[in-house]
Amino acid sequence: MRNRYRSHPAEPTTFGRIGTIWNPASPDLPEVAKAVAVTSIADGTLLKVLPVGNAEGDWITFDPVTVGYMPPFQVKEISTDTTCDVVIVTG
């Protein structure tokens, strides 16, 4: 099947095109995430993120979160303190 979105450029203001499951064992994001979304709270409800505009160490903590929660920031890091499962949207 032909990819009809191929000719549409990926820009900072467009929706993401790639979804990746975040792994706390390797917390560095491959690039700034357009969005992160909580996919499971089986292991906990804490989400700790570093928004793009915040200084290093100026974390924002959300607790409790529910499945489907998306923080209102573009995220450059997710803390290893995070206990919920998260998907990263990039591209």
Token reading at 9: 């450029």
Q: Tens-of-pLDDT digits for all 91 residues of the chain?
A: 566 656 656 666 677 778 888 887 777 787 888 889 999 999 999 999 999 999 999 999 999 999 999 999 889 999 999 999 999 988 7
| pLDDT score for 29 | 81
In contact, 41 and 65? CB cutoff 8 Å: yes
pTM above 0.85, yes or no: no
| 39/8 Cα distance (integer angstroms) | 28
